[in-house]
Structure 1
């Protein structure tokens, strides 16, 4: 088994475990009367991202590429560039950590708020 296949499997299992843990926390910490508003909020945020933010980023990226001269995009000869793979892994790990911690913080705050009512 190659390293890429192994790492993919580990990431899939970790992602499924994280989603399962979040779902369990959400179902046990959030009162049932809030499930529908939370579902609407989550669906609306996905729709907003797909309808507004993603196209905006694509258009802005295209504009930058068109305006940026081709010479500025090329690397000078002899320049040592760090492996792109390490940058990708760093981004994946940091993004995942922020997402997990932010979600847990949000669920914890809602649980505290609902317990105080």
Structure 2
């Protein structure tokens, strides 16, 4: 590993740790204490939902896509899918970004609805 790689990893780990500490401090100081139990249940439930439903579903869907993908689009020597040019890669990046943005907006909308109902 090069020195630049080690340095950049250390900077990213430090920045990520600082961001998590900042958000934890904000959560502890700005969220009323009577909501802490609800937040803990929500966090534990989201982890359980991911592990029990979402992760297995993604694995099954990924397997189905690989099984049904045309044989020409697969590199059989290495067992992985080969992109047929930069257009597919760009389309994948754009679609993933769109899903991320829409998912974030949906989450913010649900939190706003939940807050308004309380």
TM range (shorter): 0.5 to 0.7
Are residue 37 (structure 1) and residue 2 (structure 2) matched? Answer: no
Q: Which residue of 2 aligns with 1:18?
A: 19
Q: Which residue of 2 aligns with 1:59?
A: 60
Alpha-carbon distance, 1:38 to partner: 0.4
- Residues 75/36 of structure 1: CA separation in 2 closer, same or farther (3 Å cut): closer
Q: Structure 1 stretches of 5 or more lacking a match?
A: none
Instruction: Find the aligned partners of 1:8 and 1:69 in 2 and give their Cα distance.
Output: 38
Q: Which residue of 2 aligns with 1:4?
A: 5
Point out 4+ residue stretches in structure 1 off by more than 3 angstroms.
73-76
Instruction: Find the aligned partners of 1:34 and 1:40 in 2 and give their Cα distance.
Output: 10
Q: How many residues align?
A: 92
Instruction: Find the aligned partners of 1:13 and 1:75 in 2 and give their Cα distance.
Output: 34
- Residues 36/72 of structure 1: CA separation in 2 closer, same or farther (3 Å cut): same
Pick 1 or 2: higher relative contact order, CA cutoff 8 A, min separation 6: 1
Alpha-carbon distance, 1:46 to partner: 0.9
